[in-house]
Amino acid sequence: MGILSTSRMKSPWLLHFDCGSCNGCDIEILAALTPLYDIERFGIVNMGNPKHADVLLVTGPANHRNYRVLRNLYEQMPDPKGVIVVGTCGCTGGVFHNCPNVLGGIDKVIPVDVYVPGCAARPEAIIDGVVLALGKLKAYGK
């Protein structure tokens, strides 16, 4: 494994976007930043800027209101990048499935690499999902 792919594995910067979630999953994502889980020990940093991010973390179902914002954020992220959907709503639409204002899962709008199910997803599951997404970053350019 070259030094570049090692560095990619060791330094995934996250961008967190709430697509209309109930905030349950968002609270769990932020819990991963607390001293109990401390994701920074894996080099994971929660970035506020799509241009610096490697991994897009989306919660909530895609809807007509904000799917353009979601696609815009995805396109602003430079390659290599990965997308993780956190929570049942983001995976399939969840309890909002077939609502007139909801498109469904996030994969209706942008390509998704990892699905983390759960209502709400546990911080351990979210960290596990990020580790899975690292496989894609590692394989980039090979």
Q: How far is the CB of 126 from other proteins (least distance, A)?
A: 17
In the bound state with other proteins, the residue whose beta carbon lies nearer, of 6 and 72, is 6
Q: How far is the CB of 122 from other proteins (least distance, A)?
A: 19
In the bound state with other proteins, the residue whose beta carbon lies nearer, of 118 and 138, is 138
- What is the radius of gyration, based on Cα positions, of the chain? 14
Look up residue 33 and give its DSSP letter: T
In the bound state with other proteins, the residue whose beta carbon lies nearer, of 28 and 54, is 54
Q: How far is the CB of 32 from other proteins (least distance, A)?
A: 12
Instruction: Sort 78 into a burial class: Cβ within 10 Å, 0-12 / 13-18 / 19+.
Output: exposed
The answer to whether residues 60 and 69 touch, using CB atoms and an 8 Å cutoff, is: no
Q: How far is the CB of 36 from other proteins (least distance, A)?
A: 9
Strand, coil or helix: what is 73?
A: helix
What secondary structure does DSSP assign to 114-134, as a single string?
EEE--TTPPHHHHHHHHHHHH
Task: Give the interface with other proteins as residue ranges (CB under 8 A).
Answer: 3-4, 6-8, 10-11, 13, 35, 38, 40-43, 45-49, 51-52, 54, 76, 78-80
